[in-house]
Structure 1
């Protein structure tokens, strides 16, 4: 592993001296002129910055440095307060840096950091190896100790165990699928704020240590203290949050496979309409239907594929369908435009100043290409403007995977190369597309679909899930990637029901319905528009079940969209792992394919053949079975009988589930009456999560008084009675 060899040449920084402190920051000196700054960046958040003073505070930070800072942080200024005091102990002098009940203790010799909350120790760095630095290669190391029961989450996408202990990851290696947030169920989190390479050893070399190597002249580390939901809240407040998708994006999607014509896809979509299967968006297949012309920078529809764009788009719109289409930030080799932009320096260049040529992909229909240098402000602006034309002509959302394997020898206009360029290129591509589709709207609304991962990716929903096959393992794979991304701060992963790129033989009717049911209780999903993976490929009984579950999907849209609206405020994902939702329940964390859909619903998807499913109901709450209405105490395990028309679903006591009407597509929603029915799980104590929420719960004298339920059907739990009083509803115990 690279990290192990890096550690051999690092000098450990074992001694520090106090310099000064103020209301938000304390400064310390280290060896060789290095300086350590510890800042109360926000309540429960410490920021540690190490480096030479001139690197920490350059006199005139350039435009490039400011742009990079903005890519990583949405909030640069500190908003916390710090109380600093010195302490003496048998091991030597140290300092206490307090934020309310959160304490960071810094030992002087040897250097060591200890973090606690309300007197409870959360984590400590390794004595004598807390910080290391190799000035020759500008490399920092940081090392914390791990307890035996310290479950580590985040760090990006995985299809395996959500506890990442034992993993070895490198940030700019696309195959590692790394994101920069790591947190523990014990109540701490770490974020390394850099575009440079970061190497994570999460107990791979030593199971009791989390070792990190950070490349670059400055180590910029944020330490979060709090339960996982607090960590995600602070992390996304710091690095940015997603904006709201539109209502039409919440409906079901249909993915066109390669080689299928628009007319064929439209005919298949019309089958959905005829069978009353819900559908809203058709995602066009590669190659990109729009692109730069060979001899001029006009961005137009491909005439061979779309002879008449207005008729093409209009055909789908007449069927109440929206279009998403792949986008490509490049220009084809051998065209006049390639030569012209190579001369201008508008393409990524190699050491000799020539545009680097990438091998053709499906998005370019096999043609070799060069990438636009999106660090160049004129190129970035041009691509945004050209993309916006497509959306003005009727496209709803772009689809763009731009995490290319960029060699070390390439350099961008801003001077970026190597790991930094590999990190920021997909970020810039996604940001430009977001500016095109949503940046000019007030408030901003829209999505960019991509599988790319990079720091601050959570700003740009939606993350697209994997397409790994058509068997039970592939179903579990897409579920685990969604939960791991949620643990890493990404609010939404959409799922694909099967994979058009793999043989469909494993897709049985039972698996198809189980997969669909899980997708219904997620942020969103897409059907694959190949005959063997469409509902029409199965028998009438299976098609009837598809109809049943798609009705459920559209009824859930106000709730799911409300969860996403909540994510804009809190950073919490739509599908929440047991570790994220119940960090103090160690038993729940072992049931890591169960999840919370928002705050109110526990979902236990069926991941193997059969009707009997074991479910664990987390302790601390009671749970109501949506299928039977029965109430169960938390901290218990049950075997549930689940036919293909049901799914183990449990409502969390004190919460409500607000459902919309039964519709076939989002255009049938009445924006003035988005809700139809309210299900109550015990006595309501929490205001429900729902789109454009105006429902409020108040507690008085043992009853719940709810405003905002005018005209809605109310289904109370057993033992409750409902009384309407004008615009207010009173829920009380049945007498």
Structure 2
């Protein structure tokens, strides 16, 4: 492949919010002859190529380089809302000593004119982002390829652009995070990563179902590569001094977000790419599934057992067997195996269960649905106008065609099939697959599978999500998707695919999820126990503990995943953690409501909350559930686990109350029925009674568990989501010089709360609620009263 590189700038122009550069190129560029020439284009036919910078606000801009400018600007398929992040801006553009400086109040872009260079700095000159042109070997040759394009020759014919891209300088201590659901190390530095959606047949490689070409750097920026084509990253693997990004397209574009805080970047990125809708509350309950329940009788045996054993559960799922043999996916019931589906669904509802159905976007040859789709032109074609029929496409390894979601009539046809099922009472669809789009396929919008391959999961999940919303409303809409791309977070939610039934599979599920959390997805789940085969009792139990403290919780696999399949001890432990999950539902739901407004994830890697603690940069086997709870799953049959408690906060063991300083590693050997769980000191944790199913509405009684600071005064609060009022209630606690002040900014809603303050070493001098003194009593406090348990060192307050 031949590489052509930008070497200088022939001319430029600018407006109040953009800069256009007319760039010189040289197809014989090397480090040893890197110098500006008056006519740098002699070897490239004298042509120039454009680079544009468009600023959306003082800290965010879009960079675009076009190798074939004659064809016009490339229209991105990504549905990005630039208007949502635009703000007034006036660029300060100056030229000095062969450099162009483009400055805002938040950053400075420095561009070499005579000798091309590109850097983004803070206003004081501290480098945030810099193109790499100094990573050379002993011969003076560049190890990486800076801004430019590569061409290939087809059949000894003319050259054509194959890729565009650039190289970036990597700081010695720079960490790189995100890039979608990647099952490898959480910190991607040192890895090669490809953003190309595939069926990875496991979760042990960097191949994944959910690719998002967006990453965060510890240098203080986020970068979204704005394309739907394949993106290839080398993040310090070939050379530790450099990273490269190459796009399989003739346009290389990215959006640059500048901020030292990962949280701030994620919030702006999700404003642009789309904020999540609030999932229905019942979705936060336990889901029970396997591949699969093959009949109505089988399903009802499972639901009866769940209720008999008092195992909390809200959703049951049917995999492909709900449809007839060789008819996956025509979305028609097999009424022999599932007679009277309407009656079955009604019975499930009466027992407190919601129903999920499996699907994929492929329609089997020989079905009535295939004939309808062929006649209507609803399928992706092979370029001749015929449906692109493939072997082993559909579940069951038979032939099928692919629904074309760029064809408006095809979308409506597919939605109609779903709307009928939703009207029957189906609540959610497991939108499986979506990764198998051939690069040479032809779509109704005139594009091939090359740019559509990665984008297809967005259109697929959008169609199904909207079909549910059409019937049930957006508040009740939900998919359980496997494949995803930029913006798919708008249609919650997604699970991690086919993990191995092993501790390695469990670890990869967590790594993939944490990576997705830093890619704009607030909710994710995984198959408790792993997918293929039968996990050991230890793997199942440990995975249950982790899974039941994820944003969403589903048991699933090719063999039974109901806890009684693993013995009575497994049932006992499963119930213990399921009940804990249901006690925490108001906590989880508060963070879900916050995600709707902030885009921040419910399950958080430690680096998101403790970015200034260098010890958390590579921690990917523990996580934060919200901000208040630290979870450390056990990944070893022996029960051994190392737990790092982040610096900057103190921590209390959730189970025992024992206190620990932050910034240390604990080494534990944990019995099978336990999992390390810690509460951040100086925090408020809302809890309520467990139940067999998720109860709609704000609970009648919520206990606010306050963990004071280990030393000194306490000032803490929590934004509690009051579902009935659809608003946040600021609940706070101040402990100052032996006096406790509780604030509950909820007007007449104060009566739903009780307060439990732990680790209070002596009787308080006074307790007040919203400024009013509470009366001290012995025993259980009545309304407006408080008591002190000296043995437990706990204050109980009834602020009603």
Deviation at 1:571, TM superposition (A): 1.9
| CA distance 1:259–1:649, change in 2 (3 Å) | closer
Equivalent position of 2:133 in the other structure: 127
Write the deviation string for residues 38-72 of structure 1: whole angstroms up to 9, x where unpaired: 222234222112336676659xxxxxx58x253x5
| Alignment pair present for 1:162 and 2:186 | yes
| CA distance 1:596–1:691, change in 2 (3 Å) | farther
Distance 1:362 1:183 in 2: 37
Write the deviation string for residues 456-498 of structure 1: whole angstroms up to 9, x where unpaired: 2222221112333332222222222211211222222212221
| Counterpart secondary structure, 2:229 | coil
Among 706, 712, 721, the alignment partner of 1:680 is 706
Aligned ranges 1:130-209 → 2 under 5 Å:
130-134=146-150, 136-137=160-161, 139-174=163-198, 175=200, 176-177=207-208, 178-209=211-242
Deviation at 1:630, TM superposition (A): 3.0
Write the deviation string for residues 111-150 of structure 1: whole angstroms up to 9, x where unpaired: 2222233633223111385421358326321211111211
| Counterpart secondary structure, 2:120 | strand
Please say if residues 40 and 82 of structure 1, whose CA atoms lie closer than 8 Å, have aligned partners that are also in contact.
no
Equivalent position of 2:758 in the other structure: 717
Deviation at 1:394, TM superposition (A): 0.6
Equivalent position of 1:317 in the other structure: 349
| CA distance 1:627–1:118, change in 2 (3 Å) | farther
**Higher radius of gyration, 1 or 2:** 2
Distance 1:30 1:568 in 2: 42
Equivalent position of 1:303 in the other structure: 335
Deviation at 1:517, TM superposition (A): 1.4
Distance 2:486 2:224 in 1: 10
Aligned ranges 1:601-620 → 2 under 5 Å:
601-620=629-648
| Alignment pair present for 1:489 and 2:507 | no
**Which residues of structure 2 form unaligned runs of 5+?**
25-46, 135-144, 152-159, 201-206, 709-713, 775-785, 796-800
Equivalent position of 1:61 in the other structure: none
- Write 1 or 2 for the structure with the bigger share of helix: 1
Please say if residues 706 and 728 of structure 1, whose CA atoms lie closer than 8 Å, have aligned partners that are also in contact.
no
Please say if residues 39 and 78 of structure 1, whose CA atoms lie closer than 8 Å, have aligned partners that are also in contact.
no
Write the deviation string for residues 219-274 of structure 1: whole angstroms up to 9, x where unpaired: 22111122222221121111112211111111100113236322112212211111
Aligned ranges 1:452-531 → 2 under 5 Å:
452-499=483-530, 501-504=532-535, 507-508=536-537, 510-528=538-556
Q: Which moved more, 1:269-278 or 1:21-30?
A: 21-30
Equivalent position of 1:401 in the other structure: 432
Deviation at 1:192, TM superposition (A): 0.7
| Alignment pair present for 1:354 and 2:391 | no
Deviation at 1:543, TM superposition (A): 2.4
| CA distance 1:475–1:172, change in 2 (3 Å) | closer
| CA distance 1:734–1:493, change in 2 (3 Å) | closer
Please say if residues 232 and 246 of structure 2, whose CA atoms lie closer than 8 Å, have aligned partners that are also in contact.
yes
Q: Which moved more, 1:148-157 or 1:643-652?
A: 643-652
Distance 1:686 1:695 in 2: 10
| CA distance 1:53–1:474, change in 2 (3 Å) | closer
Equivalent position of 2:55 in the other structure: 40
Write the deviation string for residues 342-401 of structure 1: whole angstroms up to 9, x where unpaired: 3443211113322121224563x4442111221111111221122122112111111112
Deviation at 1:539, TM superposition (A): 4.0
Among 674, 690, 713, the alignment partner of 1:646 is 674
Distance 1:689 1:34 in 2: 53
Please say if residues 716 and 734 of structure 2, whose CA atoms lie closer than 8 Å, have aligned partners that are also in contact.
no
| Counterpart secondary structure, 1:395 | coil
| CA distance 1:437–1:48, change in 2 (3 Å) | same
Deviation at 1:522, TM superposition (A): 0.8
Aligned ranges 1:88-103 → 2 under 5 Å:
88-89=96-97, 92-98=98-104, 100-103=105-108
Please say if residues 293 and 318 of structure 2, whose CA atoms lie closer than 8 Å, have aligned partners that are also in contact.
no
Please say if residues 533 and 557 of structure 2, whose CA atoms lie closer than 8 Å, have aligned partners that are also in contact.
no
Aligned ranges 1:24-39 → 2 under 5 Å:
24-31=17-24, 32-39=47-54
Aligned ranges 1:59-458 → 2 under 5 Å:
65=75, 68-70=77-79, 72-73=80-81, 75=83, 78-79=86-87, 81-89=89-97, 92-98=98-104, 100-117=105-122, 119=124, 120-127=126-133, 130-134=146-150, 136-137=160-161, 139-174=163-198, 175=200, 176-177=207-208, 178-226=211-259, 227-258=261-292, 260-287=294-321, 289=323, 300-335=332-367, 337-339=369-371, 341-360=373-392, 363=395, 365-438=396-469, 444-458=475-489
Aligned-residue RMSD, C-alpha: 3.2
